[in-house]
Structure 1
Amino acid sequence: MTVSDQDSSHTPRASVTDADELLHHHTELPTTRISQWLDAILSAIGKSASWLWVVVTGVIIWAVVGRYVFGQGSVLLEEVQWHLAGAGWLLGLAYTLVVDDHVRVDVIHERLSLKTQAWIELLGLLLLLLPFLGLAVYEMVPYAISSWEIGETSQAPAGLSNRWVLKAVLALAFTLIIVAAVSRLLKVTALLFGFPRPIRIASDNNNQEDAS
């Protein structure tokens, strides 16, 4: 095999690595005591919610066996599936912000200095994310309360009752994202302004060494 063949054989692997870096680029921010405490709570909730997918899988298997083996379909089981799947997905959203593992495809952002990234995070959190989340929770809480007050049930015969539960989970999920966003905001201000006092400072030295 020639040198050019070796180089060409390694090209796809390098491109995959570059793509993975673009999708999973993390902004290394310092940690504060408050954000560390909030992140621990949100991580516990997110990891606990992930077990709902195991329950969803069990319910799906139960429904399939009942329908095709015993000839007994169940609207109730079908609605339980998407209720649990929706709750699991919603309650895991805050966890993705805590670990900064949501998809981030930005070829400019990763080439900026850490402080520039932090300024972008600060403006994005204050001007975009937190106002949107606040408005969402403001609308969703009355939405869930109204469903509870009228005793909303499924429109399908033999469907689930207490439809307000899923609507309350929706409001709870966005509230948890607000908590996650506040935690991240504290990390950003700790880096930029030294408040709250950081307990683990992210250094630019590693970035400079990588660049060299």
Structure 2
Amino acid sequence: MVKLRSLILALCRWADRATAVLCGTACAVLVASVLAIVVLRFGFDTGFIKLQNLAGYAFAVLMILSLPYCLARGGHVRVEVISERLPAAYIRVADTAALLFLMVPVFGLMIWAYWPDLLYSWSIREGAIETGGLGGVYLVKTALPLAGGLMILQGLGAVLSPEARET
């Protein structure tokens, strides 16, 4: 049991590092593409639809992958009006129950419900909506179930972490 717990925690740490790299890359691509769009539009009176699509794709990936990144650092939102008056042990039990009985089923359902659409998108190699746009929409759509899986993994990591047992 201890070996499985440490394996899951190691997987969570590795997934968190990979998510951080993906978020950082998406952020850099977003900043660079928006800067290029502004310079090209206002400096040279020209534009590229593919560059605008790239900015949109980078933003989508950054936003969806920021959720598991935030969860891994305990940055989730909570209403502190009630919980600040409760004992730490109660909050830990409530967090564990919420992670296991609410978050895991919701994100599991999200993956399950979205899977057929994702498979179809991959089968047709879904491209851009606009004429002349950047292809690869199916790659961006893959970020949604990936983020759902990462949320489940980070939630399990939060429940199994050594810090969780100290409170």
Equivalent residues, number = 162
Q: What is the letter of the counterpart of residue 85 of structure 1?
A: F
Report the TM-score, using the length of structure 2 for normalisation: 0.86
**Which has the larger Rg?**
1
- Could you list the runs of 5+ residues in structure 1 that have no partner in the other structure? 1-31, 188-197, 204-212
Q: Which has the higher helix share?
A: 2
- Could you list the runs of 5+ residues in structure 2 that have no partner in the other structure? none
Partners of 1:42 and 1:68 in 2: CA distance: 40
Q: 2:17 aligns with which of 41, 44, 47?
A: 44
Q: Considering only aligned residues, what root-mean-square deviation do their CA atoms show, in Å?
A: 2.1
Spell out, residue by residue over 1:165-206, the C-alpha distance to the aligned partner (whole angstroms, 9 max, x if none). Answer: 11111111111111011112224xxxxxxxxxx588525xxx
Q: Which residue of 1 aligns with 2:134?
A: 160
Aligned CA distance change for structure 1 residues 160 and 200 (closer, same or farther; 3 Å): closer
> Is 1:75–1:159's contact at 8 Å kept on the other side of the alignment?
yes
Spell out, residue by residue over 1:125-159, the C-alpha distance to the aligned partner (whole angstroms, 9 max, x if none). Answer: 22211110100011222221111112322121111
Report the TM-score, using the length of structure 1 for normalisation: 0.69
Q: Which residue of 2 aligns with 1:123?
A: 97
Aligned sequence identity (%) = 26
Q: 2:6 aligns with which of 33, 49, 53?
A: 33
Partners of 1:37 and 1:125 in 2: CA distance: 19
Q: 2:145 aligns with which of 152, 156, 171?
A: 171
Q: Secondary structure at the match of 2:44?
A: coil
Spell out, residue by residue over 1:74-96, the C-alpha distance to the aligned partner (whole angstroms, 9 max, x if none). Answer: 11111100101111222221121
